[in-house]
A and B are shown apart, each in its own frame.
Chain A
Amino acid sequence: MFSRWNWVAYGFCLVLNICSPDASGGLVQSCGHIIPESPVLALGSNFTALCILNETCLDFGNIYANQIIWKIKNRVVPKEQYREINRTVSSVTFNDTSSLATPLTCNILADGQIEQNIYGITVTVGLAPEKPKNLSCIVHQMSRFTFVMNCTWNPGRHTFLDTEFRLKYSWPEEVFPDCIPKGVNNSCTVNDIQFFVNTEIWVEAANALGKAESDRLVVDPVEIVKPLSPQNVSVSSGILPTVLKLSWENRISDAVMLLKFNIRYRIIGDTSWMEVPSEDTASPRTSFTVQGLRPYTGYAFSIRCMKEDGVGYWSDWSEEKTGITTEDQPSKGPPIWRIIDASHSPASWTVHLMWKALKPFEANGVILQYEVTVRDKSSLSSPLKKYNVTSTNHTLQLPKGTYEVTLIARNSVGASPPSVLLIPASNSEAPVKNLRTLPKHDKLWVGWTAPNNYVLKYVIEWCLVSSSSDCVIEWQIALGDVQGVDLKGIKPFKCYLITVYPLYADGQGSGQSVKAYLKQDRPSKGPTVQTKKVGKAEAVLTWNHLAVEEQNGFIRNYTILYKTIDGNETVVTVDPSKTEYTLSSLTSDTLYTVRMMASTDNGSRTGPDFTFTTQKFGKGEIEAIVVPVCLAFLLIVLLGVLFCFNKRDLIKKHIWPIVPDPSKSNIAQWSPQVPAKHNFNSKDQMYPEGSFTDVSVVEIEADDKKSFSEQDLKPFDLLKKEKSTSEGHSSGIGGSSCMSSPRQSVSDSDEGETTQNTSSTVQYSTVVLNGYRDQTPVQVFSRSESTQPLLDSEERSDDHAGGADSTAQRQQYFRQNGGQDENNTDRPCFERAKQITHANEGDLVGFVQLQVSGQSSQPLGLGMEKNTQEAALSSILQTYTEGQTVRPETVEENPLSVDDMPKSYLPQTVRQGGYMPQ
C-alpha cells in the first residue's frame, strides 16, 4: 500500500489562485506551501507538516491559518491533529505514519464555505534496509582458467522503498569494483576473482531511510572453489579379470589447487553405486585402478574432485564411462538334478539330467560347453562315459544301478569345478521332516527340519499344479547346512507342489511334499450344485470340486445355502473333501433354491443358484394308496359279481322280466267263441287274479276332440270309472287277454264290427292296473302275440315318407291312429330315445292309455317320477287337444327307432275300426 505513496500526486501542485490583482501578466503565485516537501518517512514514526500561508493573501483574501483544513487523499484529517502556530502557519501531526496516504493537502475554507486547495505534498513511507545476513560465496570454475564467484545473502525485510544492494570485496590494499545485482536483491556474481589472497567480502544495502552492511566475509577465493569434474574419463581392462583402470584429465591447474577424488562404480544394470575408499583417491592423480571386480562384468564409472585439503566444494560427478572386465574360469559347477523315468523298461532307467546355467558372476565368461561324465559305481571296471553338451539338459538310458554323474562347465579361460550327482538305486535314505512353507513378500519360504544324518545338500523341486497340464518341475539346490530357502518366481493365487529331497554322500532321501500358495484369494468361481435325487423331505445335492486354477487357495469348506421362496436361508457347512450332501427335513412339494459357496482363507465365492421342488409324496406313498384302493375296488367288484351271481334270478326278475312271447301265447289260438285259457307264468302270477280287469278295446275317432279333452281333463275320473265299470265287461274280439287291463273299455263301435275285424286284429296288450312292486298301480300293456299290425304300420309309414313335416317326424312313434294322421300325438324324438329303456312300462304305456282311453296322462306321468316326461307329456297332450294330428309316415324316418319298437310293446298300427291296444 505504501507503494501508492510513491505515486506522484499529479494534483498536489494545483495551487489555488486566490486572486491577486497584481499578479496579472506573471506566474500564478501560490497562497501557501507545505513543509517538508515530499518527505520519505519511516513506517511507524510520527510526522508533522506545516502549511504556511503567504502574507500577501491574508489581507486580500481574508485567509488565515485557522481556516486551514488538512486532507489525506480527499479525507479530512481530524482537527484534533491540527495546531495553529500563528495566523499564517498551521501544523498537522500524525503519530503513526502508517495512517498516512498520498497526497497530503493543505486546504482552506474561504468565504462562502468554499473549500479551496492551497498546496499538497507526496508522502513516501517505508523502512530502512535491514542488515543483510547469511552471506556466502562459492567460486565456480567455468573453464580451465575462468572462475566466477557467486555470493548470496538474505536481504532482510521488504522496505517498501527502492533499496540498492551492492556486493563489495577488496584486498587490504586493493578495492575492487562493486558487484551490483541485476534483477535480484540477494545474489551477485563476480567475474574477476584472484586466488591466494584473502578477500574481504560484504554486502551493503541502502535506501532513502538508511544504509546497512552485512558481516564481512574474509576468504581466499581458492578455498571456496567448486571445480569442474574431471573430463575424458576412460576405462580400460587390465591383465587381471577383476580390475579396470580409469584415466581422466583434471581441468584445474595444479598451480591453483591440488585435487582429491571420489570414484564410484556400479555393475551395468544395477542402480546401486559402490565407491572406491576415499583414502585411496585422496591424492592428486589422473588415473586409478579399481580392483575386486567381477570377471566378465560390465561396470560404469564416475569421478568427482575437490581441493585436496577438503576445503571447498566437490565438483559434480563426471559423466559415466563403462568398461568390462576380462573373462575368468567359472567359479563353481552348475547345479545339477535329474528326473528318473523307470516306466519304459523294468531293467533300465531313462535319466533326464538337467542343470542350471551358471549366473554371470559364476560363469565369469561365456560358457562354451558342458562336460557330462557318468560313472557306474557298481562296476569299477566299466569305463567312464563322457558327453559334451551345449544345452542344459541331457538324457541317458542307463541300466538300473548306482551312478555318479559329474558336470563341468567350460568357458574360454577354463573349466569350472565339477558338480557331482549320485543316482542311487533307490531313495532309501531318511527324508526331511516337518516340511512347511511361509509366504514372505514375493517369495515363498520353504523350511524343513534336517534329518539326523549329515546332508550334503538339498534339492527343492516345485511345480505349478494345474488341472490342464502336467506339472512342469522347477528346482534348486540348497546347501546341506541350511534348513530353508526362498523360492522366487512364485505366482500368487497359484497352487504349488513343493518336494524336498535330502542328498547324502551315499544316496538320497525320499522326497517330502507339501502344497502351498504364495498368496491366497477367494475362489474365482463357486461350485455348481445340482440335485442328484429329490425326495419328499430330502434332496441329495452333488457338485464337482473346483479346478485347481479356480480355487485360488486352499478350500477350507463348502457352504450350502438353501431356502424356499419366502423362507429363511439355511446354511450348511460341508467338508471340502465331499462332493455330495443330503439335505433333510425339507418341506414336501416346495420349491427350493440352493447355492453353494466355496471358501478359502481369504474369502468365499458363491456358485449359481439351483432350484428344485421336493416331491409331493414320498417314496412308496403312492403305491401304499393306490394298491389298497385297487385291491378294495377289485374286492368290491368281486363281491358284487358274486352277489349278482347268487341273486341272478332276483335281478333277472327285476331287470329283465320274462316277457311272454306273443307267438307262443295261447291267444294265438284264442277265438271269441272259445274262452281264453289263461296260462299265467310265474310273472303273471304276481298279479292276483282279482287285480286284473277285462280288456276293452276302444276305438276313438281321431277328430273326437271333445271326448278326448274330457278324458284328458279328468284323468283320475277315468281310474275311478275304470274301477267301477270294468267289472263284468268283457272285451271285444281280440280286445282282451289274460293281461287285459281291468279298465272299462269305451267304444263306440258295435260288436259286429269289432268281430268283423277280429280276423285281422289280435289283442295287443293287457293293462295291469295293480301297482308294480308296491308302487302306484299303472297301466301296463302286454305285448300282443300278433305281429301283423306292426308290418302294416311299417308299410304305411313307407307310404308317407317324405311328406311328413318335422313335427310329425318327431311324433312318429306316437302315431296311434294309422288311418288318421291328425290324431297322432306330438312327442319329441329325443325324449323317446332317453326313455326308451325305462319308459316301456311307464310313459309309453301311459301314453297309449291316453290315446285309447281318452283320459289324461297325468297319472301316468306321476307314476314315472320323471319331470321331463311329465313336461313332454303335457306338451303332447296340449298339442293333441288342439286337434293336431300326427302323421303316420314319420315312422319310416328312423329305422333304428323302429327296430327298437318291438321291445316297447307299443301298438304299431291301429286301423280305423280296429282295435286300439290297451
Chain B
Amino acid sequence: MAAADSPSTALRRRDLCSRGIRLAGKMRADVVDLLDVYVEQQGLDASASVAAVEGVPLAAVERWDEQTGTQRLLENLAAYRAFRALLAQMLEEQREQLGEADAGLGRALAAVLLQVSAFTYHLEELLRLESRGIPGEEGDGPPPPPRLSLFEQKLRGLGVLRELAQWAVRSARDLRQLAKPGPATGTAPGLAESP
C-alpha cells in the first residue's frame, strides 16, 4: 500500500504519522495530567474501578499486530470520534456543574478535546491517503448517552479519560506502524517502539 504511493503521498503520510504520534504522545501526557486534576476536582478515588465506557472501542485488543493499517485507522477514527463527543459532553456537564468556578479544569478539558479533534483530523487525512472513504460520523457515532446521575457522570468522565489515555498509547503505536515503509504495516511493533 504505502510502497505504491507517490513520493509526495508517502511524505505526506509520514508527516501525518509523525505529527500524529507526537500529538498522541502529548495527548496522553495531557490526559494523564488531566486525570490527576479531574480525580481531585471531582472528589473521586484514583484507584476507583470504572466500567468500560459505552460507545468507545477498547484500546486493548487481541491480535493487534495482525491488523492492517486501514483497520487500525478506522478503529482509531471510531474511537476518537466517540471521545470527541464524550469530551464535549463532559465539558458541557462540567460547565453546568461548576460554571466558571474551575476554569482550569474546563480549559484542560477543552485542550484535550482540541487534541482529540486534531487527532481525528489526522486519522481522516491518513484514510484519505489510503484512498479509503471516510465513514460517516452520524451512523458510527455512539448512541446518545443515557441520563446519568451526577456521580455517574463523574465516573463516566473518569472512564473516558482513562480510556483516552490508553487509546493515545495505542494510537501512537498504530501510527508508528503506519509510518514504517514497505509492507510491514501489519507487523506488530516492538516493545521499544512504544510511545
Q: How far is the CA of A171 from the CA of B117 in the complex (A)?
A: 10
Contact of A197 among B28, B33, B118, B124 (CB under 8 A): B118
A195 to B30 alpha-carbon distance, docked (Å)? 12
Per-residue interface assignment for chain A, residues 195 to 214, with 1 indicating a CB less than 8 Å from any chain B CB and 0 otherwise:
11110000000000000000
Q: Mark A160-175, 1 if CB is under 8 A from B, else 0.
A: 0000000000011110
Partner of A253, one of B26, B111, B115, B117: B26
In A216-254, the 8 Å CB interface with B consists of 220, 222, 253-254
Pair A255/B19 contact, Cβ less than 8 Å: no
CB contacts under 8 Å to A, within B20-79, are: 20, 22-23, 25-26, 28-30, 33
* A194 at interface, CB cutoff 8 A: yes
Number of A-B residue pairs, CB cutoff 8 Å, is 52
| A145 in contact (CB, < 8 A) | yes
CB of B114 within 8 Å of the partner chain: yes
Beta-carbon nearest neighbor of B124 in chain A: A173
Given contacts A253-B29, A255-B28, contact A222 B117 (CB under 8 A): no
A196 and B22 contacting across the interface, CB-CB below 8 Å:
yes
B26 touches A195 (CB 8 A): yes
Residue A256 is within 8 A (CB to CB) of chain B in the complex: yes
* CB-CB under 8 A for A196 and B118, given A222-B22, A255-B22: yes
The answer for the CA separation of A790 and B193 in the assembled complex, in Å, is: 178
- Digit string of A249-265 for contact with B (CB within 8 Å is 1, else 0)? 00001111100000000
- Cβ–Cβ < 8 Å partners of A197 in chain B: 19, 23, 118, 121-122
Sample of 15 further A-B pairs with CB below 8 A, known A194-B114, A194-B118, A255-B30: A145-B33, A171-B117, A171-B121, A173-B121, A192-B110, A194-B115, A195-B22, A195-B23, A195-B26, A196-B23, A253-B29, A254-B25, A255-B25, A255-B28, A257-B22
Cβ distance B18 to chain A, nearest Cβ, rounded Å: 9
Give min CB distance, B169 to chain A, whole Å.
12
* 26 pairs of residues in contact across A and B, judged by CB atoms under 8 Å: A171-B117, A174-B114, A174-B117, A174-B118, A192-B110, A192-B114, A194-B111, A194-B114, A194-B115, A195-B26, A196-B20, A196-B22, A196-B23, A196-B26, A196-B118, A197-B122, A220-B19, A253-B26, A253-B29, A254-B25, A255-B25, A255-B26, A255-B28, A255-B29, A256-B29, A257-B22
Give bound CA distance, A256 to B29, whole Å.
Answer: 9
In the complex, residue of chain A having the shortest beta-carbon distance to the beta carbon of B16 = A198
> Is A173's CB under 8 angstroms from B117's CB?
yes
CB of B19 within 8 A of CB of A196, answer yes
Q: Could you say which residues of chain B place their CB within 8 Å of the CB of A198?
A: 19
Chain A contacts for B117, CB-based, 8 A: 171, 173-174
* Chain B residues closer than 8 Å to A145, beta-carbon distance: 30, 33
Cα distance A255–B165 when bound, in Å?
Answer: 13
In the complex, are the beta carbons of A171 and B118 less than 8 A apart?
yes
List residues of chain A with CB under 8 Å of any chain B CB. 145, 171-174, 192, 194-198, 220, 222, 253-257
Proximity string of chain B (102-117) to chain A, C-beta cutoff 8 Å, 1 when within and 0 when not:
0000000011001101
With both beta carbons as reference points, the residue of chain A lying nearest to B29 in the complex is identified as A255
Residue from A192, A222, A255 whose CB has the most chain B CB atoms within 10 Å: A255
> What chain A residues lie within 8 Å of B22 (beta carbons)?
195-196, 222, 255-257
The chain B residue sitting closest to A222, CB to CB, is B22
Interface of B is mostly: helix
Interface string of B3-25 (1 = CB under 8 A from A): 00000000000000001101101
How far is it, in angstroms, between the C-alpha of A254 and the C-alpha of B22 when the chains are bound?
9
Residue on A nearest B21 in the bound complex, by CB: A196
Contact bitstring B140-155, A, C-beta under 8 A = 1, else 0: 0000000000000000
Q: Which residues of chain A have C-beta atoms less than 8 A from B20's C-beta? A: 196
Contacts of A174 in B (CB 8 A): 114, 117-118, 121
Compute how far the CA of A222 lies from the CA of B22 in the bound complex, rounded to whole angstroms: 10
CA distance in complex: A173, B116 (Å): 12
Question: Whole-angstrom distance from the CB of B89 to the nearest CB of chain A?
Answer: 18
Residues from chain A with Cβ under 8 Å of B28 in the complex: 255
Chain A residue nearest to B27 in the complex (CB): A255
Q: Which residues of A contact B23 (CB under 8 A)?
A: 195-197
Q: List chain A residues, Cβ under 8 A from B25.
A: 254-255
5 tightest A-B CB contacts, nearest first: A196-B23, A255-B29, A197-B118, A255-B26, A255-B25
* CB closest chain-A residue, reference B121: A173
**Distance in Å: Cβ of B58 to nearest Cβ of chain A:** 23
Task: Quote the shortest CB–CB distance from A145 to chain B (angstroms).
Answer: 7
CA of A253 to CA of B195, assembled, Å: 13
Complex CA distance for A851 and B25, rounded to whole angstroms: 174
Tell whether, in the assembled complex, residue B26 and residue A172 are in contact, meaning their CB atoms are under 8 Å apart: no
A220's nearest neighbour on chain B, judged by CB, is B19
Which chain A positions have C-beta within 8 A of B30?
145, 255
| Given A145-B33, A196-B26, A255-B26: A172 and B121 interface contact (C-beta under 8 Å) | yes
Specify the chain B residue showing the minimal Cβ separation from A223.
B19
Docked Cα-Cα span, A173 to B115, in Å, equals 13
CB distance from A169 to the nearest CB of B (A): 12
How far does the Cβ of B86 sit from chain A's closest Cβ, in whole Å? 18
Give chain B residues whose Cβ lies under 8 Å from the Cβ of A173: 117, 121, 124
Question: Across the interface, which residues of B come within 8 angstroms of A172, CB to CB?
Answer: 121
Q: How far is the CB of A688 from chain B (nearest CB, A)?
A: 177
- A523–B172 Cα gap in the complex (Å)? 86
Expressed in whole angstroms, the Cα–Cα distance for A253 and B33 within the complex equals 12
Contacts of A192 in B (CB 8 A): 110-111, 114
Question: Which residue among B20, B28, B121, B124 has the maximum number of chain A CB atoms within 10 Å of its CB?
Answer: B121
- B79-100: which have CB < 8 Å to A? none
Instruction: Chain A residues near B110: list those with CB within 8 A.
Output: 192
Cβ of A196: which chain B residues have Cβ within 8 Å of it?
A: 19-20, 22-23, 26, 115, 118
Q: Which A residue sits closest to B195, measured CB to CB?
A: A255
- Which chain B residues lie closer than 8 Å to A253 at the CB level? 26, 29
Residues of A within 8 A of B29 (CB): 253-256
In the complex, A254 Cα to B28 Cα: how many Å?
11
Measured between C-beta atoms, what is the minimum distance from B71 to chain A in Å? Answer: 23
A255 surroundings in chain B (CB, below 8 A) = 22, 25-26, 28-30
Residues of A within 8 A of B122 (CB): 197
CB of B122, distance to nearest CB on chain A (Å): 8
> Chain B residues near A195 (CB, 8 Å)?
22-23, 26
**A194 and B29 alpha carbons, distance in the complex (Å):** 14
| A482–B42 alpha-carbon span in the complex (Å) | 81
Chain A contacts for B124, CB-based, 8 A: 173
Chain A nearest CB, measured from B79 CB (Å): 17
A256 to B28, CA, bound (A): 11
Report the Cα distance A27→B101, complex, angstroms. Answer: 56
Chain A residues positioned under 8 Å from B33 (CB to CB)? 145
Complex CA gap A196/B22 in Å reads 7
**A residues less than 8 Å from B118 (CB atoms):** 171, 174, 194, 196-197
Interfacial chain B residues near A222, Cβ < 8 Å: 22
How far is the CB of A191 from the nearest CB of chain B, in Å? 10
A256 and B19 in contact, given A171-B118, A173-B121 (Cβ under 8 angstroms) = no
- Tell me, rounded to whole Å, the shortest Cβ–Cβ distance linking A574 to chain B: 91
Q: Which residues of A contact B19 (CB under 8 A)?
A: 196-198, 220
Kindly state the separation between the CA atoms of A257 and B117 in the bound complex, as whole angstroms: 20
In the complex, what distance in Å separates the CA atom of A253 from the CA atom of B29?
8
The distance in angstroms between the C-alpha atoms of A675 and B80, with both chains bound, is 204
In Å, the complex CA distance between A220 and B18 comes to: 12
Cα A254 to Cα B32 with chains together (Å): 14
Q: Residue on B with the closest CB to A196?
A: B23
Closest Cβ of chain A to B144, distance in Å, is 23
Query: How far apart are B17's CB and chain A's nearest CB, in angstroms?
Result: 11
The interface residues of chain A lying within 8 Å CB-to-CB of B111 are 192, 194
B121–A256 touching, CB < 8 Å: no
Give the CA-CA distance A254 to B26 in the complex, in Å. 8
Instruction: Report Cα–Cα, A356/B160, bound state, in Å.
Output: 77
